[in-house]
Structure 1
Amino acid sequence: MKRSTPLQRRTPLARTGFKRKEPGAFKAQLDRNTQTLVRKAAMKTQRKRVTVAEGAKYLAACRGESCFLNVKCARSDWADPTVVPCHDNRLSAGKGMGLKASHERTLPGCMLCHQWLDQGAAPREEKLARFDAGFARWQVRRARKMGLELQEAA
């Protein structure tokens, strides 16, 4: 049985002195960073995303309200603890793939009605008609609650 020996270098490492960097190397690195910053700045100016803070007043108006969809809920005259803001599901309201509609196009809806609106098997036309009817009623109450003037549809 052969005994294994540790690896050994046959030639010693060559010693080298410290080398100074070339004078233009720093400038080339700086130019690359500047180009990256310009590209990042161009990307930032593409599109401003809507934040929750911008529509928080509309979302806050839905708190403590009763359901305005009135599709699946048993009662609609009391403030159900499951009531949340239901967003409009149309492209014209700003809805898209991975995008939620504008907070201005919300109305309070209970959990069951909200589920019917978003995942229900009802035809799209029926869902939009129910949403429009509820939103027309909610718009008047929201304007009174928020102290806004009701804008007439042109």
Structure 2
Amino acid sequence: MLTRRTPLKPGGSLQRRTPLRSTTWLKHTAGLVPSPFKKKRKKRRPMSERRFTEACRGEPCYLLIPGAPAHPLESVVPCHSNSQEHGKGMGIKADDRFSVPGCGWCHHQIDQGNRLTKEERRAYWDDAYTRWVPVRALKLAKQEASK
């Protein structure tokens, strides 16, 4: 229990003698080890992969799941695959190569919706991907030619 009422002066017993670092001193060994509390930086996606998702801009919805109220162009976003074979994992998005343009409603149905079974979701996404790949290849070739 601390009974002092006046603030401690510099050089007092509770002042830190060394600056705070992102390493922890181990008394058992004579060395420093990385702190387990150091924050890890989020890995950035490579720029070469981003061109695949940027190709989805201005495109119509390719998923076209029945029951959607509309497929507005304003809500079209890149919809990534949910398959492990395309690099999807727990907390990990699939590679940008495996994305198709889809409206917000269809994207929700593919990712979290309850209208479709897992097989139906995969079938809709695979069908959209087979239709999107040739269109994307032409679009990327035109972009490369214009540079």
One-letter code aligned to 1:84: V
- Could you tell me which runs of 5 or more consecutive residues in structure 2 were left unpaired when the two chains were aligned: 5-25, 143-147
Q: Which runs of 5+ in 1 are unaligned?
A: 1-6, 8-27, 38-43, 149-154
TM-score by length of 1: 0.61
Match of 2:128 in 1: 134
Identity %: 36
Structure 2 residue aligned with 1:91:
84
Give the corresponding residue for 1:110: 103
- Which structure has the greater CA radius of gyration? 1
Give CA deviations for 1:20-57 in whole Å, capped at 9, x if unaligned: xxxxxxxx99x624x549xxxxxx9xxx9561534210
What secondary structure, in the 3-state scheme, does the structure 1 residue paired with 2:51 have?
A: helix
Q: Where does residue 60 of structure 1 map in the other structure?
A: 54
Q: What RMSD in Å do the two structures reach over aligned CA positions? A: 2.9
Q: Which has the higher helix share?
A: 1
Which runs of structure 2 are paired with 1:73-92 in the superposition (5 Å)? 73=68, 80-92=73-85
Give the match's secondary structure for 1:81: helix
The superposition leaves residues 108-143 of structure 1 with CA deviations (integer Å, 9 ceiling, x where unpaired) of: 000010011011121100010010101000001000
Question: Partner of 1:104: helix, strand, or coil?
Answer: coil
Which segments of structure 1 move beyond 2 Å, counting only runs of 4 or more?
Answer: 72-76
